[in-house]
Amino acid sequence: MKYNILFLCTHNSARSIIGEALAATHKSGRFIGYSAGSTPGTQVNPFAREIALSLGVPESRLRSKSWDEFGRPDAPKMDFIITVCDNAAGEVCPVWPGNPVTAHWGFPDPSQVQGSDDEKRRAFREVMQGLLRRIDALAALPLEKLDAMSLQSELRRLA
């Protein structure tokens, strides 16, 4: 079984894009990755784009999206919704169809790092590695055997 997982961040230009890319390309094949934001930006951050492309995500999938797209009745039903920035975690989210399991996996915003391109890439890689560790741990769980309350607890424990 594949699980739909939506990563949320305010502008959907960096952390949530990386989360989507990691889930969509995860070695377990257990996830379909999505991302969105409350106030999406006009473009994906170039360092997040670089990571997503290196993971094999098609260029055509890389765009900043509003979370409203995923609150519509015809949207894919999400199994998991994970906020990756503190701002998005504190906002009033749409009503998600299907009562998905939610959690906050906060990471510092790598797009705020000042310095050389190498320093910026390092910040993006750190977020990528942190998200990958959590996605690996999520994939290792017996998801099909856990009830909603247990899933909620496990997802939050991974934070």
3-state helix, strand and coil shares in percent for the chain, rounded to the nearest 5:
45, 15, 40
pTM, 2 dp: 0.93
pLDDT attached to residue 88: 53
pLDDT attached to residue 132: 98
pLDDT attached to residue 73: 84
Interatomic CA distance for residues 124 and 149, integer angstroms: 32
What are the domain boundaries of the chain? 3-147
pLDDT attached to residue 91: 62
Q: Please count the other Cβ atoms lying within 10 Å of the Cβ belonging to residue 52.
A: 26
Hey, which residues are catalytic here? 9, 85, 93
Asked if 12 and 122 touch (Cβ cutoff 8 Å), the reply is no
The 3-state DSSP class for residue 102 equals: strand
pLDDT attached to residue 51: 98
Query: Which DSSP state fits 96?
Result: P
pLDDT attached to residue 148: 87
Residue ranges, the chain, pLDDT below 70 = 87-93
Which CATH architecture is the domain 3-147 placed in? 3-Layer(aba) Sandwich (3.40)
pLDDT attached to residue 47: 97
